[in-house]
Amino acid sequence: MTAHPLHIGFIPLVDAAALIVAVDKGFAKAEGLDVTLVREVSWSNVRDKLNIGLFDAAHLLAPVAIASSLGLGHVKVPIVAPFSLGLNGNAITVSPALHAELMAQVDGDPFDPMVTALALARVVVARRTAEAEPLTFGMTFPFSTHNYQLRFWMAAGGVDPDEDVRLVVLPPPYMVGSLSSGHVDAFCVGAPWNSIAVDLGIGHILHFVSDILQRAAEKVLAVRQDWSEKNPQVLAALTRAHCAAAAFIEDDGNRDEVAALLAQPERIGVSPDVLLRTMDGRLKISPDGTMRESRRYLLVGRQGAGRPDPRQAAWLYAQMVRWGQASISPEALKTAEAVFRPDLYDAALGVPGQLNTDVPDAVGAFAGPAFDPADIAAHLASFEIAHLKR
């Protein structure tokens, strides 16, 4: 039988691991798929090539899938996600100079995001008083978890991300060079680029994003809705291949092999040691060698991470509303939630799945009220800093 050919785009990040392993370990081939992986440098490239049909599927920022379905920032192309490629995995990395400024202002536990958010507010005031340039933070895309996570953290401490600092868009592989050159003072990006900055001695990891949100939908396996309706068996096979790959990755006995696969130049192309540290959630956070460990740092398949959760989509839509990217409406919320398709995941595996209940509200944010997708307006009204569309 002839294998079904597929072209799938990805960005060199560790949360593309399930996609890469599905292909390179033969899980996709076992499902009758002939997958060509195409490495890209920017999320706009991935989105555009998926939308116009050059890619059959993609490793995609979860908010980009939602924005595409809502027609925000680009043409409207409905997207569905039958598999979640990763929860968490991002970190906030700051330059040595900013790290020193923050630590001088810290009053409490520096691993507590509220403590550092309040310290950032004091740094912002001090810099304004000294008539210094505003701090510049890099993030990967306007419709990105990195953007929303930075904003959520800053705003909790009283820093208005649209008034008090600058946020600039940079492709993930360019973050380290931008920090080194002084183009940015800090960035939020996925692994392995935070660790690369630390290893080079030019950055300190201030927070894992799992400090800010216990479970944050990060990347999804994305396909166009019309493609999914025309190719249901192919999509089911692709979903099963990813489930098998995620299980392989999460087996500690396979970690060395997985790191070697991901380290290949045409895949992620960084040291296997850095990749191992990322998958183990054991990261060097400072050039002096200080280590920190968190089992929540990146979830690829365990704790139900692979099954899409529409509540996560609702939270991401709420951030779009909070920061003026989208208007609030029941119809838009329904569209956003419909991007995450646990029904397709369940159908592909032939078993009914369950929503993860480790975090009562599905997100587990460090500040603010518990998230209720049934009342986004009330949730947003609880925050002092927001920029809703008028």
For the chain, the structural domain boundaries read 4-87+216-269+300-308+326-364
| Residue located via tokens 């990813």 | 242
* Residue 5 phi, psi dihedral angles, 5° rounding: -80, 140
Q: In angstroms, what CA-CA distances link 222 with 105, 187, 244, 252?
A: 42, 25, 18, 27
Mean pLDDT of all residues belonging to the chain: 95
pTM of the shown model: 0.95
- At residue 169, the pLDDT reads 95
- Is residue 47 within 8 Å of 79, Cβ to Cβ? no
| Residue located via tokens 């968490």 | 88
User: 4-87+216-269+300-308+326-364 — its CATH code?
Assistant: 3.40.190.10
pLDDT tens digits for range 357-384: 666 788 999 999 999 999 999 999 999 9
Q: Above 60 in pLDDT, residue 26? A: yes
Distance between CA 145 and CA 133 in Å, rounded? 26
pLDDT tens digits for range 85-100: 999 999 999 999 999 9
Q: How many CB atoms lie within 10 A of CB 142?
A: 18
pLDDT tens digits for range 232-283: 999 999 999 999 999 999 999 999 999 999 999 999 999 999 999 999 999 9
Distance between CA 287 and CA 77 in Å, rounded? 44
Closest to 179 (Cα-Cα) out of 157, 153, 158, 206: 206
- E strands, the chain, are 4-10, 33-39, 57-61, 79-88, 90-94, 136-139, 166-169, 186-190, 204-208, 217-224, 282-284, 291-293, 298-299
What is the signed CA dihedral for 123, 129, 132, 133, rounded to 10 degrees? Answer: 70
pLDDT tens digits for range 327-342: 999 999 999 999 999 9
Distance between CA 210 and CA 259 in Å, rounded? 22
Closest to 69 (Cα-Cα) out of 230, 146, 60: 60
